């Protein structure tokens, strides 16, 4: 069972439909026991870090997320769900994230934001999620902020948008995508299938 965490942010149903399309059993929930019992966890998200952290705190989900990751369960953060994994964001001043990964979330400077639409990923580190994905594949983005990991070894792919930024990460059981696989057609479905079959 893949559990999609519902904290009031993100297109949960689209993510669920895409996962089910590639053969996953899924549930969308805020229930702590259901999240603990899941085989894999997905944290989607659209929006700003501060309201997202406030909601996770209100729902008592922060410790649950950290515990399931520490147990080694496969965890996938999508868009804001990726950014939340890091220590802090400059969005709205300086906002603390979950702090599971070292690094920060920065805003694109002197560029049209948000970046909306298709862009290429350049594979840097052969994450299991990028298996059977061509190195210069196009995926769908919608974001104004990007992650800057302290550990460059966790960068699985990068993308050019005025600057080179991290578009996906991988560290042990933790996976993160800045782009939206559920909107990335065949490539996105392959990436989600790779997660389902881990």
Is there a contact between 40 and 2 (Cβ–Cβ < 8 Å)? yes
Q: Helix 185-196 crosses helix 12-21 at what angle (to 10 degrees)? A: 70
Tens of pLDDT, residues 82-123 = 999 999 999 877 899 999 999 999 999 988 899 999 999 999
Write out the residue range of the structural domain in which residue 40 sits.
2-196
| pLDDT at residue 65 is higher than 80 | yes
- What whole-number distance in Å separates Cα of residue 98 and Cα of residue 101? 8
Residue 131: its pLDDT value, please? 93
Of residues 131, 132, 134, 107, the one with CA closest to residue 122: 134
Active site residues: 79, 180, 182
**Percent residues over pLDDT 70 in the chain:** 100
Domain count, the chain: 1
| pLDDT at residue 147 is higher than 80 | yes
Give the 3-state secondary structure of residue 27. Answer: strand
Is there a contact between 178 and 147 (Cβ–Cβ < 8 Å)? yes
What ranges make up the beta strands (E) of 13-154? 26-29, 40-43, 75-78, 86-89, 95-96, 101-107, 115-120, 122-123, 138-143, 145-149
As to burial, measured by CB atoms within 10 angstroms (0-12 exposed, 13-18 middle, 19+ buried), residue 94 is exposed
Of residues 79, 75, 48, the one with CA closest to residue 64: 75
Tens of pLDDT, residues 6-34 = 998 778 999 999 999 999 999 999 999 99
Determine the average pLDDT of the residues in 135-158: 96
- Measured over the CA atoms of residue 123, residue 129, residue 131 and residue 133, the dihedral's sign is negative
Provide the terminal-to-terminal Cα distance of the chain, rounded to the nearest Å: 12
CATH number of domain containing 69: 3.40.50.880
Output 173 or 134, whichever has higher pLDDT. 173
Task: Compute the half-sphere exposure of residue 62: CA atoms within 13 Å on the CB side of its CA.
Answer: 14
């Amino acid at each position: 069972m893949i559990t999609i965490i519902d904290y009031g942010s993100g297109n949960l149903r689209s993510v669920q439909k895409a996962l089910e399309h590639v053969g996953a059993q899924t549930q969308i929930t805020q229930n702590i026991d259901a999240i603990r019992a899941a085989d894999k966890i997905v944290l989607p998200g659209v929006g700003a870090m501060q309201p997202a952290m406030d909601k996770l705190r209100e729902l008592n989900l922060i410790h649950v997320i950290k515990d399931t990751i520490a147990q080694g369960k496969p965890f996938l953060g999508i868009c804001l769900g990726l950014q939340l994994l890091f220590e802090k964001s400059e969005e709205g001043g300086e906002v603390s994230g979950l702090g599971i990964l070292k690094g920060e979330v920065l805003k694109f400077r002197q560029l049209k934001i948000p970046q909306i639409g298709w862009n290429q990923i350049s594979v840097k580190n052969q994450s299991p999620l990028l298996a059977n994905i061509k190195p210069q594949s196009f995926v769908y983005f919608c974001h104004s902020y990007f992650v800057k990991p302290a550990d460059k070894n966790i960068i699985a792919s990068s993308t050019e948008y005025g600057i080179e930024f991290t578009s996906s990460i991988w560290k042990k059981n933790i996976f993160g995508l800045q782009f939206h696989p559920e909107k990335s057609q065949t490539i996105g479905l392959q990436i989600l299938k790779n997660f389902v079959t881990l």
